[in-house]
Amino acid sequence: MPANKTGPAPKKKKGRRGRLVAVAVVLLLVAGIAFGAFWGVNTVRASLPQTTGSLKLAGLTDPVEVRRDAHGIPQIYADSDEDLFRAQGYVQAQDRFWEMDVRRHMTAGRLSEMFGKDQVDTDAFLRTLGWHRVAQQEYDTKLSPATKKYLQAYSAGVNAYLKDHEGAALSLEYAALDFQNDYKPEKWTPVDSIAWLKAMAWDLRGNMQDEIDRSLMTSRLSPKQIAELYPAYPSKRNKPIVEGGAVNPVTKEFDPKGSSSGNTAANGTPGGATQGLQNQLSALSTSLDKIPALLGPNGNGIGSNSWVVSGSHTTTGKPLLANDPHLAPQMPSLWYQMGLHCRTTGPKCNYDVAGYTFSGMPGVIIGHNQDISWGMTNLGADVTDLYLEKITTDGYLSDGRRRPFTTRKETIKVAGGPSREITVRTTDNGPIVSDRNGELATVGKRAPVGNAAPDRGDGYAISLRWTALDPGKSMDAVFELNRAKDWTSFRKAAADFEVPSQNLIYADTKGNIGYQAPGRIPVRGKGDGSLPAPGWDPAYRWTGYIPQSALPWEYNPGRGYIVTANQAVVDEKKYPYLLTKDWGYGARSQRINDLIESKIKDGGKVSTDDMQSFQQDNSSQIARILTPYLTKVNISDPYVREAQQLLDGWDFTQEPDSAAAAYFNGVWRNLLKLAFGNKMPKELRVKGECLTVRPAEGSGPVDDLNKFVRECGERAPDMAQPDGGDRWYEVVRAILDDPNNAWWKTADLPGRPGDKNRDQLLAHAMKDARYELTSKLGKNIDNWTWGRLHQLFLKNQTLGTAGPGFLQGLFNRGPWNVGGGEAAVNATGWNASGGYGVTWVPSMRMVVNLADLDKSRWINLTGASGHAYDAHYYDQTDKWAKGELLPWAFGDAVVKKGTKDTLTLTP
């Protein structure tokens, strides 16, 4: 599909009148086709928020001012904390209530109430996990009185908006939903806000997908082959976050108590107990795929970049801090930019903070206040374990005894249909997640567990142990971060940020920089969490959590900068606890390290422009490694040779207009498919893509080994393997100088002999890429560009993905042709098995200038508004695609100067 390099085809209309004319044309066309006179300009305009003048907001003690800039980004000014968060709730409901409402129904397992019976299975799984129940427990037992007051004030602000708005006045989506059912939103509650942290934690839960995938691979691959596909972290090449140890060498803050001598055992789980679970784990994986991945498809290179450079290396003389979390592209962006300002800070009003918020949650998640700035990337700690459970109808085996399940009934209301009731069963390891899929009813019947397990009877169930299912204080931590003044108060806040476990970087206006790894990270008895463990054996249970004092941190390191990009946190040989076995492999982090080092060598200084430029780095590490081998392969076919020549002299950057980048990534995709993908079990390959395989390699009984069968993949495209991320860089790097390695060899098929060595497979991949790109981009390689293959579409996460075609057209935007790629610093990720489309993006970008906060910069993926056809629905996307950042005003005078609309909320 053709696209402009930086934006969707239609030109922006100037002025409100022009926009409404465009809306009128679109909706009148729709009206003529579908719903008569119902749809019209008034339907669209009904939900656009009032942003000027004054409105009454019940419950305020004093007037609150909401100033919006030219991009509709609000800055709120109040005289008390409660007024501030009440106004935040009101303003976010103005712009984003549909998104908030869908999100709370998802976290509560109540999507069926909005969208009908198709969501029942998803709701059942989410009810089994019990996010909303745990959030309620946190509110009741864990959170501070101040946090509860803020949550109550925020909820009151949302509900004040709901009181005066319904149906089309809330959003265009509600107008569309009225055609399906009579759904009406209910009041917002504090627990609705807290539960969003559970969804965030779920999408950042660590290696659960890798745990499933490794188990599924056992049907097709040997333990040695699986180990080769999960190589060790390249610690000698790619630096960990914390260098030279896990703690500051001056204070030596470290508490080794509680470490378990068995917690790092690589092969702790009995081999027999984790083999042969393909059917049940495949079904579990299918269930997981159905859960809306609000942050992105788990396990496929999930990550982010952040780094901070000390003032000794900057042109400003104070730190510069950058952050760009990598999440799934969606419309609107997950982030909502906002400033929360007390006119006078003091005991009554504590906040002067700005940054990126989540609609539906009070406070700022990433940003800065008047004293400090902070950023986040996913630490990737292993905080989930799957357990095999030996069950009967009335209980499960644990430590040699039969124990009764803990059970509860859940009623799922269904729009347009009868309610469904489910029973949730829980063991001492966690909820039984395998109950939520019919294919798992006979779980484990064929599992060849040998002597490692008790008599299995009717088979195994699968339960989930996960830190986020225990109540915690992460909501307290959000507010503590927002008002932190220095390193000490920042670390205190981090200690309460239990779930999800994040890499937190820090800088302050006094010139200090730092890093803290927070989170509730388990210590295991036996096993390392890389494969499902036997639930009946208490030796495999968690024995506690890593003490906060023992979690890695760093303060003002001598090198003068800190980089976190999902690489290993520490050198695991020097750290007594197991954080995970499944780090990102450091391609992005090391590139950022190299960029900084190249700038500061010989006394050079890093500027704000440099930080922004680093975020746009499109260099491909795997291209740098692989291209010299590709250019040396003898290609006799002139048609393929023509494409091969694109790689001659290429600088390995993936610009959107690069033909070489397009061809290389085509070769990389086809290489992975030939060498690895076609050898994967069907459960990991793309759904609907079929292969001819020998029966011994397929599933089911085999009568004749000389026959061939067709076997089709079962995995969603954005979750299939090999995904092409930097784990696969290391896999391929390890065999490149071994031309006869078995991975280079492909099977002989009827009429088609297989590849026998590296160069034959590389030639095969180059040929396949030539023909694939010809079909997608045309015969003339002069017209090839990476951006035409690598396109970004922004889709509304409900009606824009599953609604009727005309509705998708109303809510979705794109495509944009973009550069970057998987594991590049400019991480516009794509799944090599699923295709070239963008599945990951830097969901926002920011650069904070601690010398002058008003000279900081930021950008969002879309815009402030969640209302289709609002001027700010996607007014930042073109700039985002070009790598541009907006000025980020913070001080009162600068904010006032940039204000375009002012709304006063009065008691």
Percent over 90 (pLDDT), the chain: 70
Is residue 377 within 8 Å of 575, Cβ to Cβ? no
- In this prediction, residues 131-160 reach a mean pLDDT of 97
pLDDT at 192 over 60: yes
Per-residue pLDDT band for 706 (boundaries 50, 70, 90) equals: low
Per-residue pLDDT band for 248 (boundaries 50, 70, 90) equals: very low
> Minimum mean pLDDT among 70-79, 110-119, 734-743, 761-770: which range?
110-119
Q: The tokens of 893 are what?
A: 């005078």
pLDDT at 797 over 50: yes
pLDDT of residue 179: 61
* Segment (H or E) for 402: strand 401-404
Q: State the chain's mean pLDDT as an integer.
A: 86
> Minimum mean pLDDT among 14-23, 416-425, 673-682: which range?
14-23
pLDDT of residue 293: 53
Is residue 46 within 8 Å of 166, Cβ to Cβ? no
Q: The tokens of 37 are what?
A: 């006179």
Q: The tokens of 165 are what?
A: 């708005």
pLDDT of residue 771: 98
Question: 7 vs 801, 813, 904, CA distance in Å?
Answer: 20, 9, 35
Rounded distance, CA 401 to CA 158, Å? Answer: 50
Give the model confidence (pLDDT) of 750-781 as tens digits.
778 999 999 999 999 999 999 999 999 999 99
> Minimum mean pLDDT among 102-106, 175-179, 583-587, 677-681: which range?
175-179
pLDDT of residue 574: 87
Q: At what angle do helices 587-600 and 621-632 cross, to 10 degrees?
A: 100
> Minimum mean pLDDT among 54-68, 153-167, 300-314, 842-856: which range?
300-314
> Minimum mean pLDDT among 330-344, 445-459, 578-592: which range?
445-459
> Minimum mean pLDDT among 42-46, 345-349, 461-465: which range?
42-46
pLDDT of residue 297: 52
Coil/strand/helix, residue 771: helix
Question: 864 vs 16, 70, 97, 861, CA distance in Å?
Answer: 17, 11, 12, 10
pLDDT of residue 794: 96
Question: 31 vs 38, 42, 43, 47, CA distance in Å?
Answer: 7, 13, 11, 18
Give the model confidence (pLDDT) of 327-367 as tens digits.
889 999 999 999 999 999 999 999 999 999 999 999 999 99
pLDDT at 74 over 60: yes
